[in-house]
């Protein structure tokens, strides 16, 4: 009887470990790009078209247009710090919410990633003054 309980507990722990490891995380390169204000590396994760809100810009842009807008934002707002305050996701999508501290104040950053094959792409990005 004790061996059966041991096997059940081991099976339960293995299942729990598998479930915890199966949750996707936000790619570290996205976080680093926001921490360093690097629009070029961030844009590598942009979908072909991206819903973008950056202060007064609000539209669906091509990947190239979005990179230019984000690059201009980072030129005008030198990044000092970026911290994820909340993230999550389900069924092929992830989101992140963070605070971006710049020389011109704090901005709230929201982004939504969707999985396409083995890669995740940013479909929405919002950078709004707090």
DSSP string, 36-81: HT-HHHHHTTEEEEEEEEETTEEEEEEHHHHHHHHHHHHHHS-EEE
**Angle CA(118)–CA(122)–CA(125) in degrees, nearest 5?**
165
pLDDT, one tens digit per residue, over 107-118 is 999 999 999 888
pLDDT, one tens digit per residue, over 41-91 is 999 999 999 999 999 999 999 999 999 999 999 999 999 999 999 999 988
Does domain 25-129 bear CATH number 3.40.50.620? no
Give residue 20's pLDDT band: very low, low, confident or very high (50, 70, 90).
Answer: very low
pTM of the predicted structure, to 2 decimals:
0.80
For residues 42 and 50, give the distance between their C-alpha atoms in angstroms, rounded to a whole number. Answer: 12
């Amino acid at each position: 009887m004790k061996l059966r309980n041991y096997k059940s507990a081991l099976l339960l722990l293995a299942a729990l470990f598998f479930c915890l490891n199966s949750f996707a995380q936000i790619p570290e390169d996205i976080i680093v790009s926001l921490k360093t204000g690097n629009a070029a590396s961030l844009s590598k994760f942009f979908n072909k078209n991206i819903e973008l809100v950056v202060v007064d810009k609000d539209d669906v842009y091509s990947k190239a247009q979005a990179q230019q807008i984000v690059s201009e934002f980072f030129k005008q707002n030198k990044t000092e710090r970026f911290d994820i305050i909340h993230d999550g996701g389900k069924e092929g999508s992830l989101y992140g919410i963070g605070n971006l501290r710049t020389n011109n104040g704090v901005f709230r950053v929201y982004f939504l990633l969707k999985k396409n094959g083995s890669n995740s792409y940013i479909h929405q990005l919002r950078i709004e003054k707090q």
